[in-house]
A and B are shown apart, each in its own frame.
Chain A
Amino acid sequence: MSETRSISLTVNGRAVAADVEVRLTLADFLRQNLRLTGTHLGCEHGVCGACTILLDGRSARSCLMLAVQANGHAITTVEGLAPNAEQMHPLQIAFQEQHALQCGFCTPGMLTTLTELLRDNPDPSAAQVREAISGNLCRCTGYNSIVDATLQAAKKLREGVPG
């Protein structure tokens, strides 16, 4: 049995403490230990972006991090984006309205990446949106609807419209 460590971190605003094997990836910790299966593994080598989470607000590949490296940090996953069980985040609403998802497997990584973008740049150009998701692969949509959805959500957020 490989070595274990105790870690404590915040996940979607909730304090979490656990003993984990040092070789456990953050993605597997979120998915298997915490049952937060919204974070998806598409390539496990850091290219597809499906596993993207926010680490202290910055996008990061949870497949390329170990769980122990998240010790003391705050993680946001796709499950933590919507304000509550009834409402969705403006990005989530715009994704539905613009048909910016089909199979939905890449969607969690798209949403976390774009959450960071819209926080840092509330009024991005289409080119800036494309740049932001240039590290997120989608096989279904052809991306243009994702760009449209992001611009729609950005507008809603700037107008202060919840959803």
Chain B
Amino acid sequence: MSAAGMNAGGSKAGSLIGKSMPRLEDKALLRGTARFIDDINLPGMLHVAFLRSGFAHARIERIDCAAARALPGVHAVLTLDDLKPLLTTPYLVVALPSPHFKLDLHRPALADGEVRHVGEPIAAVVADSRYIAEDALALIEVDYDPLPAVADCRAALQPGADLSHADQPHNLVAELRTEFGDIEQAFAKAAHISRADLWVHRGGGHSMECRGDVAIYDDVQDHLTLYSSTQAPHAAMQQLAKILGRPETGLRVITPDVGGGFGPKLIFYPEDVVVSCAALLLKRPVKWVEDRRENFIATTQERDQYWSMEIAVDDQARILGLRGEMLHDHGAYTARGLNVAYGSAHTVVMPYEVPAYDLNIKLAVTNKVPVTPVRGAGQPQGAFAMERLLDVVAQEMGLDRAEVRRRNLVRAEDMPRSKPIVTRGGIDVVLDSGDLPAAQADVLRAADWDGFKARQRAALAEGRYIGLGLANFVEATGRGPFEPATVRVDITGRISVMTGAAAMGQSTKSMLAQLVADQLGVSMQQIEAITGDTARIALGIGGFNSRQTVMAGSSAHLAAKAIREKMIKIVGHRFNAVEEELAVADGRVFVANDPERGMSFGEIAQAVAGLPGYVLPPGVSAGLEATEYFTQDAMAYTNGAAVAEVEVDVETGDVRVHRLILSHDCGQQINPMIVDGQLMGGIAHGLGNALFERMGFDDQAQPVTTNYGEYLLVGAGEMPEVSLLHRSSPTPLNPLGLKGVGEAGVIPTPAAIASAIEDALSPFGVRICQAPIAPQEILSLIEAARQNADANPAPLAAGMR
């Protein structure tokens, strides 16, 4: 080992990577001194409340704001007409590009004469307090002419269906087809064909903090600052630049502490525009913080997919082909794109060898809140579809469920394994690394899969219905093309790392500090990590798709490495030493065997800060700052497997998940404690998607679950014992071998739980074809199976293999 590799305590660069380190974020959060969006209070600040549509679909005949404007304490009541003078367009044009769109469904900043979902903002009151603003909402008179509402994505595409948008020709926003291989031949030569019709529903993101904005207009500098609880501050700034027609230099978006994202906060919202406009119009700081009811009716969600699939296998249950249709609820507007459905389509075929595939997806416009990614972004649904199909194959062919999977998983010796599909950005999909059969074997061993049947029989003898379920998954992580990072050492020796990445609770600042500290031989606490501020770095993409550790982490690592190398060069020149003789430790670079000969970081920074008329050290550029735009186009594919053990009460339909085992491979881990935390959160979310979370609407698309009494989140009492098993197959795609982890836990969990419920109920022979599944639905399935058995007694015990 060269001396140049030495860090504090004699360790070399790289020694901090893979260690569980305490987080930088924690102290302020634990003491209550963190600064979330609603904690920002400024002199003269005004408060916004939104009037939202109570109809899922209606024409607005008239809005009368006179009484509201007259209320003392009200400074303005804004409708779209009031905003138009400030806007280049009344619409938020935010869709990710795709050739598959058949309709352009851009959201207006406020209602444009027709409302298309309950919760759509119509007007905004700006007042001295939120209390007064909400008083004024009650004084706004709106004359609605109700229109037929499209409440169900299946009904939306029926001939003669009502129109979700009165001015559009139909409700089919897009149609996507993913196909490869000879599907006709696959089914023609199949030894066995299995089918499944599935409903997969996901609710909202449900970050504990709702959304919020604080806009500040400085009319001296003609500059607008928007604090926003967003996952994508640079995207928000660029959208503001476009819709307000302002130069980027006249805009700054900053994310304060963010109380969870989980997808919906990556979206640019009408409220972001309205709050910005209010500050521009009134020249006062303006705050809006979403309340929970608004979060249920106005923040984007994921909701419904209906799958109708069939799978062809040979006589050894090896997959020959998969085909089918999927119907996806797009919601009322395009608030992001076709990406959720696209992700679902790909996830189906990722873990397994699938020679032929033909999936046609229709995206239907409904009169409901727009659909955009929620943690997992379509991947849990795709995994659910595939894993359910494989269980049907196993059952129908009389094979063990794990064995069917083992025969079809992509093998480690075939990595990297190219898939005949491309990402939505047109990039080849290649499983870069990993050992899927080993990950499955890990969870089977930990669950005592082979010994379970004896336990199940013994339990059944006591009248207890227990079951085990299995699911494999691949997660697409590290969405490119880049996420830059700047590392700077100032003349006092202080180190900062700045990035476009956005922190929302997933430990991004700690991750960056750990990588920079690793290179510079200092403690994490000596590094200031600045995330989510458009004034600190020119470009950024943001936090979603399990991408920030992969992309911003790689950039921060490379930038810190560049700083380290530059410091060594400067000190080497000053003390006439070669690189191999120098050490980096304790905030200094020095000659290893003569530590007096060296410079502090601050002195090194001073040496390149420039003195008028004096030359820089030879061969180095000005400033102790490095910016890296590490670019990775291909995605890094995390993989793993999950086993769930459940017990079903056949009298009440109640499902208890006793145990969940997850094997996981995200390549090189930076902070294993944080990796485990991400997995645990994902598992809890997946448990909710399997059993509890259901965003309900009536037949007029009126939301019927708008509080946490009606919409059930997983609580502490529902969490099972969880075992996390790790593998590490570093990806060749980036210098540290990093893959993402943020969404892994949520992807296989609903599928594993559904499989376990089906296994527990195998004496009845019921099929679980939906997520979530509620106790009353389980009881109905059992009852139907019993009636079926009464009519045909023979096949009853077929499920117990």
Contact = CB atoms under 8 A, between A and B. Distances in A.
Interface of A: 1, 21, 23-24, 31-32, 35-45, 47-48, 50, 77-79, 81-82, 88, 92, 95-97, 99, 101-108, 111, 129-131, 133-147
B680 A111 contact: no
Given A133-B716, A141-B681, A104 B31 contact: no
Interface residues of B, number: 54
Given A40-B36, A99-B23, A108-B32, A139 B717 contact: no
B292 A44 contact: yes
A154 to B, nearest CB: 16
B708 A78 contact: no
Contact of B29 (A36, A107, A129): A107
Interface stretch (B107-115, B252-260, B332-340): B252-260
B673 A139 contact: no
A98 to B, nearest CB: 9
Nearest to A36: B32
A47 B26 contact: no
A52 B216 CA distance: 31
Contacts of A105: 36, 207-209, 259-260, 505
Question: Chain A contact residues: over half helix, strand or loop, or mixed?
Answer: loop
B260 A95 contact: no
A18 B210 CA distance: 29
B697 interface: no
Contacts of A47: 707-709
Contact of A143 (B27, B260, B684): B684
B716 A139 contact: no
A39 B716 contact: no
B676 A99 contact: yes
B265 to A, nearest CB: 11
A95 B208 contact: no
Contacts of A1: 72
B33 A79 contact: yes
Contact of A42 (B209, B257, B673): B209
Main secondary structure of the interface of B (DSSP, over half): loop
Interface string B201-221: 000001111100000000000
Given A48-B208, A139-B208, A78 B32 contact: yes
A35 B209 contact: no
B48 to A, nearest CB: 15
Given A79-B32, A144-B722, A102 B507 contact: yes
A154 B466 CA distance: 34
Contacts of B709: 45, 47
Contacts of B209: 40, 42, 103, 105
A97 B210 CA distance: 27
28 contacts: A31-B38, A32-B41, A36-B32, A37-B32, A37-B41, A38-B34, A39-B32, A40-B259, A42-B209, A43-B292, A44-B292, A45-B709, A48-B292, A88-B31, A97-B22, A99-B673, A102-B260, A102-B505, A102-B677, A103-B258, A104-B259, A104-B505, A105-B259, A107-B29, A133-B716, A138-B716, A139-B713, A143-B684
Contacts of A48: 208, 292, 708
A101 B676 CA distance: 12
B259 A96 contact: no
Contact of A35 (B36, B41, B684): B41
Given A105-B259, A142-B714, 6 more contacts: A79-B32, A96-B30, A99-B676, A103-B504, A139-B713, A142-B722
Nearest to A37: B39
Contacts of A23: 131
B708 A38 contact: no
Nearest to B39: A37
A145 B291 contact: no
Nearest to B506: A102
B613 interface: no
Interface in B260-313: 260, 262, 291-292
A44 B262 contact: no
Interface in B13-37: 22-23, 25-27, 29-36
Contacts of A38: 31-34
B208 A44 contact: no
Contact of A21 (B131, B507, B722): B131
Nearest to A23: B131
A38 B257 CA distance: 12
A104 B25 contact: yes
Contacts of B504: 103
Nearest to B707: A45
B716 A147 contact: yes
A111 B259 contact: no
